[in-house]
């Protein structure tokens, strides 16, 4: 199909506001709406009002399309991203710590520098180059101290893993050979290597989306994490839940957090967020109607311990 050249006109804030009004958007506080357009931008907000179109081709809004609902969606999504980043930090730190301990115990502290432990040598060289670059540019005191005393390009894993991006950590694990050490690491979370690899990659993906302020509500994710075969009553009983929506990703986070920190706050914080924004459409994020009855999501007072 032949593409056409974009030649759209740039609209002022007032013109943007009037365009929304012409298309049927309802405003109870016009000044507040104009200020939000200035602060956030028309294009960023447009992804939140898209589901409110009656006619998506002509971009005509439904009768109940209120700008205040768009504001609530935007604020909810912003707080949701903060919640996710806060909880992901706990997972990420634990993954680094366990990886350094288990593989250093099995091999030695310098296992990151041993290409024989990795499956794809080409991928390993690419990862190694990135590791060296991250070590070189790091200004952490423990890295500077190591480099001042030792000639190794790569410090021991318990040092190096602390400064690598979560994406690099995920790639390191994915490229490690399938052996007892790798199985022991996955067993820390009662998962198979393949599923844990998929989940770490998925968490890197949602972390990057959240860190770059991308919309999570009503999003279909391009990364689809694998479904674990069997983990008893500590995973989702509904095997038909979509793995390309937020609920599945949040369930992964909760599952891992339960293994790392049983008294974590993800569940409680999410419940509180839904109470604060009680009109948010959870189905748009892949939440089944009976999601709170899932063993994984039961309140602590009802959960089986």
If pLDDT is split at 50, 70 and 90, which confidence band does 300 have? low
For residue 198, what pLDDT is reported?
97
For the stretch 22-35, pLDDT in tens is 999 999 999 999 99
Residues ≥6 apart with Cβ < 8 Å to 155: 135, 143, 146, 147
For the stretch 187-242, pLDDT in tens is 999 999 999 999 999 999 999 999 999 999 999 999 999 998 876 668 998 888 99
For the stretch 241-275, pLDDT in tens is 999 999 999 999 999 999 999 999 999 999 999 99
Mean pLDDT of the chain: 92
For residue 9, what pLDDT is reported?
84
For residue 1, what pLDDT is reported?
76
Q: Where are the domains of the chain?
A: 13-65, 74-297
3-state helix/strand/coil string of the chain: CCCCCCCCCCCCHHHHHHHHHHCCCECCCHHHHHHHHHHHCHHHHHHHHHHHEEECCCCEECCCCEHHHHHHHHHHHHHHHHHHHHHHHHHHHHHHHHHHHHHHHHCCCCHHHCHHHECCHHHHHHHHHHHHHHHHHCCCHHHHHHHHHCCCCCCCHHHHCCCCCHHHHHHHHHHECCCHHHHHHHHCCCCCHHHHHHHHHHHHHHHHHHHCCCCCCCCCCCCCCCCCCCCCCCCCCCCCCCCCCHHHHHHHHHHHHHHHCCCCCHHHHHHHHHHHCCCCCCHHHCCCCCHHHCHHHCCCCCCCC
For residue 302, what pLDDT is reported?
45
For residue 301, what pLDDT is reported?
45
If pLDDT is split at 50, 70 and 90, which confidence band does 2 have? confident
For the stretch 154-181, pLDDT in tens is 999 999 999 999 999 999 999 999 999 9
pLDDT at residue 299 above 90? no
For residue 229, what pLDDT is reported?
82
If pLDDT is split at 50, 70 and 90, which confidence band does 305 have? very low
């Amino acid at each position: 199909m032949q593409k056409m050249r974009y030649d759209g006109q740039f609209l002022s804030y007032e013109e943007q506001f009037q365009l929304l009004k012409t298309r049927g958007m309802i405003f109870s506080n016009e000044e507040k709406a104009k200020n939000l357009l200035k602060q956030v931008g028309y294009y960023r907000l447009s992804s939140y009002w898209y589901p409110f179109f009656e006619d998506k081709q002509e971009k005509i809004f439904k009768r109940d399309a209120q700008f205040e609902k768009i504001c609530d969606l935007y604020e909810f999504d912003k707080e949701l991203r903060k919640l996710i980043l806060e909880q992901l930090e706990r997972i990420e730190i634990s993954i680094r710590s366990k990886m350094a301990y288990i593989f250093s115990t099995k091999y030695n502290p310098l296992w990151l520098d041993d290409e024989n432990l990795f499956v794809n040598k080409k991928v390993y060289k690419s990862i190694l180059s990135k590791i060296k670059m991250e070590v070189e540019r790091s200004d952490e005191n423990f890295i500077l101290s190591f480099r001042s005393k030792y000639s190794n390009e790569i410090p021991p894993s318990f040092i190096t893993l602390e400064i690598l991006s979560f994406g690099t950590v995920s790639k390191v694990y994915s490229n490690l050979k399938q052996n007892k050490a790798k199985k022991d690491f996955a067993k820390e979370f009662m998962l198979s290597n393949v599923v844990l690899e998929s989940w770490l990659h998925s968490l890197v993906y949602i972390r990057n989306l959240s860190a770059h302020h991308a919309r999570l509500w009503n999003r279909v994710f391009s990364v689809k994490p694998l479904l674990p075969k069997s983990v008893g009553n500590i995973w989702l009983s509904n095997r038909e839940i979509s793995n390309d929506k937020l609920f599945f990703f949040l369930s992964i986070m909760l599952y891992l957090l339960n293994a790392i920190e049983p008294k974590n706050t993800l569940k409680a914080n999410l419940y509180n967020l839904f109470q604060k924004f009680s009109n948010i459409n959870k189905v748009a994020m892949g939440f089944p109607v009976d999601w709170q009855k899932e063993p994984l999501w039961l309140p602590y007072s009802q959960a089986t311990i």
